[in-house]
């Protein structure tokens, strides 16, 4: 990923270029999805599903550099903020699941970086499969789930 002994400016350019490419890849994956509803969420799942095998880049170095210099991740930050605004539209209640999906995938990605053996392939498939299914939940289905949760008393007591 980075040339040994590379100056910080070169490393920053490499990181910024990788993040910009990631944003473009998210767009390509979403456009290729035949179902536009939840396509960006499914693209995020695909792009972040396995830090160890999903990319040729050194994911740990990418994360460390982006955290230390968030300005390098502006394109991804902008994309997430735009998606968050769209997903938090009160007229479309199920879209909030997009925020939850992206947060879960961010967590899985970081978990992979910290401990690549945490989940077996079967477990990872189960996790990403559930998140993919959530990307297809309609407002009506979410309403039914929330009513069931409320009826069971779950989530109402702190």
Tell me the C-alpha to C-alpha distance, in Å, between residue 135 and each of 24, 36, 72, 91, 144.
20, 10, 28, 17, 16
Give pLDDT, residue 136.
95
Alpha carbon distance 86, 107 (integer Å)? 21
pLDDT higher than 60, residue 154: yes
pLDDT higher than 60, residue 155: no
Give pLDDT, residue 74.
85
Number of domains in the chain: 1
- What's the CATH number where 82 sits? 1.10.357
Give pLDDT, residue 3.
66
Alpha carbon distance 142, 116 (integer Å)? 33
Tens digit of each residue's pLDDT (9 = 90 or more) over 50-104: 666 555 556 776 777 777 778 878 888 888 899 999 899 888 889 999 999 999 9
Average the pLDDT over 32-50 and give the result.
91
Give pLDDT, residue 68.
79
In order, the DSSP letters of 47-65 are HHS-TTTS-SS-HHHHHHH
Q: Report if residue 86 sits inside a domain.
A: yes
Q: Report if residue 142 sits inside a domain.
A: yes
Give pLDDT, residue 55.
54
Q: Which of 49, 24, 53, 25 is CA-nearest to residue 132? A: 49
Q: Report if residue 157 sits inside a domain.
A: no
Chain centroid to CA 58: 18
Q: Note whether 119 and 113 are within 8 A (CB).
A: no
Give the relative orientation of helices 8-32 and 74-87 as an angle to the nearest 10 degrees. Answer: 30
Q: Report if residue 2 sits inside a domain.
A: no
pTM over 0.85: no
Q: Report if residue 3 sits inside a domain.
A: no
Q: Report if residue 1 sits inside a domain.
A: no
The residue range of the domain holding 99 is 8-151
Q: Report if residue 23 sits inside a domain.
A: yes
Tens digit of each residue's pLDDT (9 = 90 or more) over 97-127: 999 999 999 999 888 888 889 999 999 999 9
Q: Report if residue 146 sits inside a domain.
A: yes
């Amino acid at each position: 990923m980075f040339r040994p002994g590379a100056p910080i400016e070169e490393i920053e350019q490499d990181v910024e270029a990788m993040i910009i490419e990631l944003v473009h890849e998210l767009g390509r994956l979403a456009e290729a999805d035949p179902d536009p509803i939840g396509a960006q969420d499914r693209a995020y799942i695909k792009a972040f599903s396995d830090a160890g095998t999903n990319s040729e880049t050194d994911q740990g170095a990418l994360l460390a550099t982006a955290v230390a210099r968030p300005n390098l991740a502006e394109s991804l930050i902008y994309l997430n903020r735009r998606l968050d605004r769209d997903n938090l539209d009160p007229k479309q209640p199920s879209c909030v699941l997009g925020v939850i999906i992206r947060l879960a995938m961010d967590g899985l990605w970081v978990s992979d970086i910290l401990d690549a053996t945490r989940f077996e392939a079967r477990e990872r498939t189960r996790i990403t499969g559930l998140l993919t299914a959530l990307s297809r939940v309609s407002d009506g289905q979410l309403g039914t789930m929330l009513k069931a949760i409320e009826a069971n008393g779950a989530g109402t007591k702190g």
